Amino acid sequence: MPLYEYACQKCDHEFEALVFPGDDAVACPQCEARRVVRRLSVPARPQSEAAAAPTGCDPSLPPCGPACRRFNDRN
């Protein structure tokens, strides 16, 4: 069920639509015309490494679980 971008040829409204398998009748949500053109969608840019999730534990918090590396540091 991909999400596609469309442009209406009647009113020039641009919109996104979730298309289910076998569903080929997409209508403009603004004017309800069925003369729409699917646009080329560009995937989102990956997040930078600076925005990635932290890999280390916060020492001010309790250990995160049995596999926490802080448990291994105590042995």
Q: Where are the domains of the chain?
A: 1-41
Fold (topology level) of 1-41: Rubrerythrin, domain 2 (2.20.28)
Q: What value, to the nearest 5°, has the Cα angle with vertex 11 and ends 20 and 14?
A: 50
| pTM of the entire predicted model | 0.53
From residue 71, give the alpha-carbon distance in Å to each of 50, 61, 63.
27, 13, 8
What's the confidence (pLDDT) of residue 41? 74
Please give the pLDDT value at position 27: 93
Q: What is the pLDDT along the chain (75 residues), one digit of tens a residue?
A: 578 899 999 999 999 998 888 877 899 999 999 999 998 877 767 766 555 555 566 777 777 766 666 665 554
pLDDT of residue 54: 54
